[in-house]
């Protein structure tokens, strides 16, 4: 009698899948909690930082967490854009400031350092008194009314990078907690899909520009565009020319030694 021993198959080793990065997950700026604490405690905030550093989006994130409406206004050049106005038919036209003041919410005045001084005097009064004389009558500030402003300078006026900025008086600055809001490396890594080489490259470009007084902005938008176009198969040098060094002369581009090694 021939005995047949059945073959025993060894179980295949279980492959452990490494957790995938959730690229849709929101990343918070390193100053998120600091800004949020000021807003929760009704302290007006002034964010000082370069263009494209994500000030607007961070404040939207905070408004979602706190359950507050978010009202946005860019630099104000006429008083009525803050106060509103009554037209010839007797109808009052509301502004974002009016809505936030009356109903509660975060009023964000971006580029405050590019707004006319007369407007800032009115804003100072509203913050200090908690009531405001609008064209349609006096209104008391809602208990959840909050003010955040932002600019590219700390009220020192125009410089080589931001030529249209005005000097802010101390009465205005004294009402705000001033927070330095720069580019955040964690956000850059998230945008670039963890491309350390690209993030280091952009940071080096900023350092060279600051050292040599070159007027150039290398924001999150640059990183985002490079990441998308590289994935689409475009040659890297071409991508950098149209997204990072756009509008620069050859002499200016040659100042960035790191680019010649790409």
Q: Which comes out higher in pLDDT, residue 19 or 101?
A: 101
pLDDT score at 222: 92
pTM of the model: 0.81
Cβ neighbours of residue 240 under 8 Å, at least 6 residues apart?
A: 226, 259, 262
CB atoms within 10 A of CB 117: 12
CB atoms within 10 A of CB 35: 22
> Residue 57: pLDDT above 60?
yes
Q: What are the backbone angles phi and psi of residue 239, rounded to the nearest 5°?
A: -60, -45
Q: Which of 92-101, 102-111, 179-188, 241-250 has the lowest mean pLDDT?
A: 241-250
> Residue 151: pLDDT above 70?
yes
pLDDT score at 102: 96
């Amino acid at each position: 009698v021939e005995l047949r021993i059945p073959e025993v198959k060894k179980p295949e080793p279980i492959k452990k899948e490494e957790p995938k990065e959730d690229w849709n997950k929101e990343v918070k700026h390193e100053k998120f909690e600091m800004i949020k604490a000021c807003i929760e405690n009704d302290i007006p905030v002034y964010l000082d930082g370069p263009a494209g550093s994500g000030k607007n989006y961070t404040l939207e994130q905070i408004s979602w967490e706190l359950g507050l409406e978010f009202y946005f206004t860019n630099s104000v050049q006429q008083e009525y854009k803050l106060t509103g106005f009554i037209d010839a038919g007797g109808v009052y036209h509301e502004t974002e400031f009016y809505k936030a003041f009356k109903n509660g919410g975060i009023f964000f005045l971006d580029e405050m350092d590019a707004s006319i001084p007369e407007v800032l005097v009115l804003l100072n009064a509203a913050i200090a008194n908690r009531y405001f004389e609008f064209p349609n009558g006096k209104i008391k500030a809602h208990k959840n009314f909050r003010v955040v402003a932002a600019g590219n300078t700390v009220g020192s006026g125009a410089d080589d990078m931001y030529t249209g900025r005005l000097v802010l008086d101390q009465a205005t600055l004294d009402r705000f907690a001033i927070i330095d809001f720069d580019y955040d490396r964690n956000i850059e890594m998230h945008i670039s899909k963890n491309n350390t080489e690209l993030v280091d490259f952009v940071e080096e470009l900023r350092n060279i520009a600051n050292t040599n007084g070159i007027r150039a902005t290398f924001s999150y938008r640059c990183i985002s565009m490079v990441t998308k176009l590289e994935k689409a198969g475009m040659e890297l040098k071409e991508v950098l020319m149209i997204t990072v060094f756009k509008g620069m002369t050859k002499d200016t581009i040659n100042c960035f030694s790191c680019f010649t090694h790409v």
